[in-house]
Structure 1
Amino acid sequence: MEPEALERFTWYMREQSALTVMFHTKIADQMGLSATDEKCLDLAMRADGPVTAGRIAELSGLSTGAVTGVIDRLERAGFVRRVRDPHDRRKVLVEVTIADVEKFGHLFEVARQSLIEVLSHFGEDELQVIERYLQLQIETFRKRVIDT
């Protein structure tokens, strides 16, 4: 890869990252949460049902101690509750309280509409390339940054 191309893509990624962090900070503030708490809530929401604190730690790259604090704050704010695992009563699961989360769905509509607008500029072949890029970026970044 040419150094100029790497420099351009580095700038794009840094700008996208900064905008994403600021967007989620703004959303989290409106929800009464920190940006970390809001993203951990998002991870829990995207899981298939209730999830363990350990799984949130794995997905987020945070320590289990930090995740315990996140869950405490989310529980106090009414976004999650701790429940016993029906298959193993010794385990505690984190369950998202959907009713409380849904009232903030409108905050994400601007981002969704922006995505629709941007994707409308690309044909199906281009979308496949973009999707492949994003999948590889997520996989590589998770492996090198989160899972270390």
Structure 2
Amino acid sequence: MPETAGAKAVYPVSDEELARFSWLGRDSSLVTVMFHARVAEQLGLSTTDHKCLDLAARGGQPMTAGRIAELSGLSTGAVTGVIDRLERAGYVRRVRDPHDRRKVLVEVTLSDPQRFALLFKGVSEMMARVLSHYTPEQRELLFEYGSEVLAQMRKEIAKFAVTD
């Protein structure tokens, strides 16, 4: 009978299973980093600048440099440099917060959203192909697993807190 921790059952994990999933995670991380390095290269950005641009774009609205620092795990000083480079490249601009004129927000200014869509088209199509081999229930389990791994990884990242 599995032990329970809260509402979730807890089952033992063998050393072999842990090793398999660790390698899978490491390979997934490596391939993801390499893919985004190539995307950044296509955009004329560093990988860090590209991922900060992604964070700002996914927010759906202008955000503060402090929020980008919080989401990225970078120091606010490092984020200032990122924003400077993204602004020079024409991907973002600094704007005043309409509710508090003392605050400066970072607004994404993608002049050619289609260019970004094309860079990710192949990955999107590949994900649809791979997911099509799983039932909706299996997909939900995969999504739950991935979401939990990400949440726990964020906690691990927080242990390396960056301070200015």
Deviation for aligned residue 1:101 = 4.4
Contact between 1:60 and 1:146, CA under 8 Å: does it hold in 2? Answer: no
Structure with the higher helix share, 1 or 2 = 1
The 5-angstrom pairing of residues 1-148 of structure 1 reads: 1-146=13-158, 148=161
Stretches of 4+ aligned residues off by more than 3 angstroms: none
Q: Identity of counterpart residues, as a percentage?
A: 56
Judged with a 3 Å threshold, the aligned counterparts in structure 2 of structure 1 residues 146 and 114 are, in CA distance, closer, same or farther, namely farther
Q: Which amino acid aligns with 1:140?
A: Q
- After superposition, the CA RMSD in angstroms is 1.2
Q: Say how many residue pairs are matched.
A: 148
Mapped to 1, the partners of 2:158 and 2:67 lie a distance apart of: 13
Tell me what 2:5 maps to.
none
Q: Which runs of 5+ in 2 are unaligned?
A: 1-12
Deviation for aligned residue 1:98 = 2.6
Query: Highest Rg: 1 or 2?
Result: 2
Mapped to 1, the partners of 2:21 and 2:71 lie a distance apart of: 26
Deviation for aligned residue 1:102 = 3.8
Q: Which runs of 5+ in 1 are unaligned?
A: none
Deviation for aligned residue 1:104 = 2.6
Deviation for aligned residue 1:137 = 1.0
Q: Which amino acid aligns with 1:116?
A: A
Scaled by the length of structure 2, what TM-score is found? 0.87
